[in-house]
Amino acid sequence: MDRVNFYKIYLPALQKALDNDNSNHGFFVYPPEYYIDKMVEREVEYCMDVELGTDVFIQQVEEYFDAKSHYALDVRGVPIQLVKEKILNEMHTIERSL
């Protein structure tokens, strides 16, 4: 899966995850992967792990959802709301580039 196809699947799932990030299920907030169609889930996860494993944006999203799951108020010293805003801004930048 190339980067463009990955983000066409991943970004809508990320938006759903961000829309629902205040629903904590006992130290677990559903990450974007939860909202990805099961038919392409393995391919997307492979792309995340192998192709984009060092992608700063993906790492930031993972850290954000880990922090939200643990009721943290910040991510590496940055207020969690600012991290969310940065993720949203980066999402829009990526969407425009597709």
Residue 22's domain spans which residues?
Answer: 3-97
CA 76 to chain centre: 17
Q: Which residues contact 66 (CB under 8 A, 6 or more apart)?
A: none
| Tens digits of residue pLDDT in 57-91 | 999 999 999 999 999 999 999 999 999 999 999 99
Count of structural domains within the chain: 1
pLDDT for the residue 62: 94
| Tens digits of residue pLDDT in 7-47 | 999 999 999 999 999 999 889 999 999 999 999 988 998 88
pLDDT for the residue 1: 85
Distances (CA, A) of 62 to 78, 83, 96: 15, 11, 22
pLDDT for the residue 54: 76
Distances (CA, A) of 1 to 7, 14, 29, 38, 95: 10, 18, 26, 15, 17
Residue 30 backbone phi and psi in degrees, to 5: -60, 120
Give the three-class secondary structure for 78. strand
